[in-house]
Amino acid sequence: MKKITLSKTLSFTFLLLLAVSFSNCVSVHHPRRTVVVKQKRLPPGQAKKITGERSARNHAPGHN
């Protein structure tokens, strides 16, 4: 009779330890921060080609 209760106690203890060890393996999702990317300006010559103008002066930063 004591052998049965001892094996039940050991199996219960083992299952309890197994359950506790698996409960610690929960992963937590941390949301990532969104990164804002600045858009690069087109070079004046490229903007000139797109608009079809003859001069790139109007697209240069200091010549508005």
Q: How far is CA 22 from CA 11, 15, 17, 26, 63, in A?
A: 16, 11, 9, 8, 67
Mean pLDDT of 47-59: 89
Give the mean pLDDT of 2-21. Answer: 82
In tens, the pLDDT along 42-51 reads 888 898 899 9
Task: Name the E strands within 1-64.
Answer: none
What local confidence, expressed as pLDDT, does residue 3 receive?
A: 60
In the prediction, which pLDDT does 22 show? 74
- Per-residue model confidence as pLDDT tens digits over 31-40: 888 777 778 8
* Model pTM score: 0.37
